[in-house]
Amino acid sequence: DTEVTQTPKHLVMGMTNKKSLKCEQHMGHRAMYWYKQKAKKPPELMFVYSYEKLSINESVPSRFSPECPNSSLLNLHLHALQPEDSALYLCASSQVGTGNSPLHFGNGTRLTVT
Amino acid sequence: AQSVTQLGSHVSVSEGALVLLRCNYSSSVPPYLFWYVQYPNQGLQLLLKYTSAATLVKGINGFEAEFKKSETSFHLTKPSAHMSDAAEYFCAVSVRRGAQKLVFGQGTRLTINP
């Protein structure tokens, strides 16, 4: 069983919809991440939160809006997405340290934009 | 800039044969290196990590990797392949300390033939 829980597992949304992806971890990690993974490609970093503050934004379009309400929760708010945004969205968490802390991934939300 | 290159997008071996998945890194500082595995419709799972404590690193499921500075390599091996090893494997390097930025290689799909 994964220790990082993502909901929903699947999401289909139209280009005018607003939806949110949710991620939860209870490992006491203070760094949380959103990655986007297209089919047959490696994960690409989108956002990093450290101690509930946004520390990295990889020039992600504003139609993706992250939120970290507390140390256990991470949300990704979606609005006016494009079909090319269809992908597997992975959440991860880790300790904040010297760079050798492994990331723990959830099983992802498979998003389809119609 | 730190990066990793995985040689071979697809590797096919027979059950019981040696598994060798290749990863070369580029880094101006001592790297932190990771191998992750991704099974279909799942997130990424850590196999092992190199953090300079030992050059030969043992991981889960019988996998190990050897860090060779002279060759800038961190190849993943398993003496005897099992059908359950069929998956996508990613090598990754941590390029930032603290809330880290993990950069992945392109991935290698491992197929096991009966």
List C-alpha distances in Å: A65 to A13, A20, A82, A114, B28.
16, 9, 15, 20, 33
For B99, the closest of A4, A41, A55 (CB atoms) is A55
Render pLDDT for B29-67 as a digit per residue (tens, 0 to 9).
888 999 999 999 899 999 999 987 788 999 999 999 999
Distance CA B69, CA B72 (A): 5
Q: Flag whether residue A108 sits within 8 Å of chain B, measured between CB atoms.
A: yes
Distance CA A70, CA B113 (A): 46
Residue of A nearest to B6 (CA): A42
What distance in Å separates residue A35's CA from the closest CA in chain B?
10
Render pLDDT for A38-57 as a digit per residue (tens, 0 to 9).
999 999 999 999 999 999 99
Q: Flag whether residue A95 sits within 8 Å of chain B, measured between CB atoms.
A: no
Whole-number pLDDT of residue B71:
94
Q: Is the pLDDT of residue B3 over 70?
A: yes
Render pLDDT for A67-106 as a digit per residue (tens, 0 to 9).
999 999 999 999 999 999 999 999 999 998 777 888 999 9
Among all chains, which residue has been given the structure tokens 């799909």? B109
Cβ–Cβ under 8 Å, residues A36 and A46: yes
For B43, the closest of A41, A102, A108 (CB atoms) is A108
Q: Virtual CA dihedral for A10, A15, A18, A23, nearest 10 degrees?
A: 30
Distance CA A14, CA A85 (A): 11
Task: Write the DSSP symbol of residue A102.
Answer: P
